[in-house]
Amino acid sequence: MNENYPPVITLPEGLSDEAAATMLEFLTDLTQCFERYYAGQLHRYYHRPDTPHQDLGPEQDPPF
C-alpha cells in the first residue's frame, strides 16, 4: 500500500434503502465496465505463464 492512499474507505452513513441499492447498482456497473475495458490486461495478468498452476495428475484426480 502507498502511504498516500491509505486502505481505509469511508462509506456514507445513514443511507436510505433506495440510496444503498442505487449505490450498489452503480458500483456493480462500474466494476463491469472496468472489467470489459481492461479485459485483455486482466486476462494476461491472471493467465501469466509464470504463474504456478497445480497440475492434477492421475494420482491427484478428485474421486468424482
DSSP track, 3-21: TTS-S---PPSS--HHHHH
Domain ranges of the chain: 15-43
- pLDDT score at 40: 95
Taking the C-alpha atoms of residue 4 and residue 34, their distance in angstroms, rounded to an integer, is 23
- Amino acid in position 17: D
- Amino acid in position 60: Q
Torsion 21-26-31-32 (CA) sign: positive
Higher pLDDT among residues 6 and 20, named by residue: 20
- pLDDT score at 50: 81
- pLDDT tier for residue 56 given thresholds of 50, 70 and 90: low
**Angle at alpha carbon of residue 58, lines to 56 and 61, rounded to 5°:** 55
pTM over 0.75: no
